Structures are given as C-alpha cells and as structure tokens.
Structure 1
Amino acid sequence: MAEMTDILRLLDLASVVVFAVTGALVASRNQMDIVGFMWLGVVTGIGGGTVRDLLLDVPVFWVVNSTPLALCLGAAALVHFTAHLVASRYRILLYLDAFGMALVTTVGTAKAHDLGTGSLIAVCMGVITASVGGILRDLLGQEPSILLRRDIYVTAAALGSVVFLVAEGFGLPRLAAMGLAVSAAFGLRALAIRFDIYLPVFRPRPGRVPDSRGEVE
C-alpha cells in the first residue's frame, strides 16, 4: 500500500510539471513576462487537483505539501528562458497537454476510488482533474477553451478513467491498471490530434413548421 501511495504521489508530481509547462508555453505564445509564465504555470499545474480535492472534501494536495507549487514555479521559469528554442510550441503544447491529461486522469480517478466513492464519481473526478487546469489556462491565456473546441479531450479522459476502474475490477495490479489507463487516454487524444478525429457535432436544422391551428405536426 505504501508503495502504491508513493507511485500515486510521483505521478501527481509528474502531471503537475507537465501541465505547468503547457501553461508556460501558452504564456510564451502570448509574450508574457516571467511572472505571467509562473502564474499560468501554477494555475494550470494545480488547478484541476485543487478542485478535485475540494469536491472530495480532503486537504488540498499543494497546501499540505508545497512541492507541487515549487515544481510549477520552477518549470514555468525554465520555460521562460528556453521556449524560444522550440520551433513549434503549439504542437508540443498539444502532445504535452495530452500526456498531462492522461496522467492526472489516472491519479484523480485512483484518489477518488481509494476514498470509497462510486465508480461514476471516480470517473467524474478523473475528468475534472484533467480538464479544469486546462480550462483555466485557456481562459487566462485567451486561447480557445478545450471544452469549446471539437477536439476529443474530455472523452479521452473519461476513457482513461473507465479503463483504470475496469482493469482494477478485473484484479490487475494497480501499476498495470494505471499504465493501461494512461496509454488509453493518451493514445486516443494523440490519435485525435494526429488525424484530426472528432466526435460528430450538432448541426443546426430548420425548425418544425406549425400547421394552420398553430400546432406542430
């Protein structure tokens, strides 16, 4: 159990760093100063996990241990001085964001499941952990929100959560279940980015015409 707790903590820290880097890359695209880099890095890195912990009514992870906050600040500062070395920051942003999403989805789902929530709530916590940081990043960085784009994102997070719960339900070791979940979520998102795959969207259609009595047929 202690070993699994350590693995969860390491995954949580890794996901925080990855998301902080994506926030800093958005700051670079908006030509912000180093404070802007750090602000977006912190909000993106810890935003989803903060909302998750508040909803689960547990101590917020970065308040209990400031390491995630320090990592966000450090990663964002590093990107401030190195972002110009990357030729296509947007492409890297997309794939880093996909990897971070896959990690935090798994961590959020596992944390909720360990606290005794039902499977549906655990899936919701995984999706919230994965998406809130990105939503805040896009809002503050004036980027199109991940929820308003037609990209497969939330769907990939939900898939990762479900894969994790099903794998554990079938008795797979937790590390294997996590690996499958991360692979499923990242794989679907990466395929969607590479081949421009998206779910069917709503298409406006002419409304139904009332008859002579004012009733819709």
Structure 2
Amino acid sequence: MANILVVDDEHGIRELLSEILNDEGHSVDLAENAAEARKARAENSYDLVLLDIWMPDTDGVTLLKEWAGQGLLTMPVIMMSGHATIDTAVEATRIGAQSFLEKPITMQKLLKAVQQGLVREPARRPAAAPVSAASPVLVGGAAAPNAAPMHMQTESQPMAVSPAYAPVAPVAAPSPLATGSQSFDLDKPLREARDEFERAYFAFHLQRENGSMTRVAEKTGLERTHLYRKLKQLGVDIGREKKSAAAS
C-alpha cells in the first residue's frame, strides 16, 4: 500500500482517481489546488503524487518547480493534463517529473502509471537536461523531433524510450467487416468491455469510410481532434485499418 496525493481542480477527477486507488489498497489524500497541495506535502510524506498541470491558482509545473527548488521533490510525481503541449511536458520532466498521464484517464493506464511510478526512484534533477534530437518525445503515439526524453504514459505506450517504460504495442481492433460479426465477452469488467466494443466500433467505421478521418468524425459525431485522441487511447492502429480498407 502506498500513500498517494492527488492534486486536481476538477472534483469529478479527484473522486474517480481516489476511488480507483482506494480499491487497489492505497491511501489517498486529495487537494483541489496548489495551496492545498503545499499544505498536504508539508504535513505528510507521500510515495507518489498525481499532479494536474492546469489549475486556477498555481499551475502544476510551477508547483513542481517550487518543490524541486525547496528540496521537497523526494517522491515520484506523475503530471496529468488533457491539453499539455510537448514543451510543457519536456519542461516538467527537466524539473523532475517521472511521467505524464493524458486525460481522459482510464483505469488501466492510471494503474499502470502508478505501478511504474512506485517502483522507480524519484527524479532529483532540478537542472535542465540537454535536448537530444535522437531521443523523440511521443505524444499520443506520435513522434516529435528535436525533443528531450520524456517519460510520457499513454494508453498504449509510454512517452519515453526508457527500460522501465518499455513500449506496449497497440492492440489492433478486430474488424467487423473482415469477420462478418463481432462477439463480446460480457463477463468482463464494464470498462474493459466498453473499450473492446469501442475498438470494434471505430475499426468498423474506419474500414467503411476507407480510412477517411473526416467522414468517420462525421459519422460518429466526434470532432477530429477528439477522434484522434480516442483512437490512440483505445490502441486502434489507424494505418493498419486504412490498409485493410484499401485491400477490401
């Protein structure tokens, strides 16, 4: 069991993460802003901190920098955001963040990131690390050149090339068009069953629309940005589905 601090200004996210982590046997404290996080850090010793980047009073990167400067960054910190840029992520890692969780956060990627964070030594590098063009940052599975190494955790693969964060190959969704029908295991937990259905659902539309993201977005009622994020989160291989559609 670990002592974990969750810092996020959204009540729903705090409650969701707390419920999941409590079910795993961890002790969880909650803070809705940087002020509460400072107070909690001063009064307690934590094994891990989940820290949101965008908060109304003080953003997570500034708080991370503050802790590093005061010698309080003695525990692994996992940054969280649904809108972070590569530059923000790289800056957080240079300061000392262990990894990054992209919102929306599913139970599977949360537990994986927490497990990996708890077995790693906390970063103690307040000084900026040199940028290496040979070490790409991966955001949502896409490589960005000329970026510093980054332990970025996504649904299907981490954001850094690191032995402790070995990439997990995305799961190719079964194609309803290729199999004729798709069955689902209803004995699975709700989240897993839902992810399985959504993989098949989006794979079906990708093949039917010949890989056109514009038409798939229209058919499913999602914005293109949200659709790309959803497909990456589910591990749907867009390139593979396009090839399957072309072959059929």
TM-score normalised by the chain length of structure 1: 0.25
Higher RCO (C-alpha under 8 Å, 6+ residues apart): 1
More helix by share: 1
**Larger strand share, 1 or 2:** 2
TM-score if structure 2 supplies the norm length?
Answer: 0.23
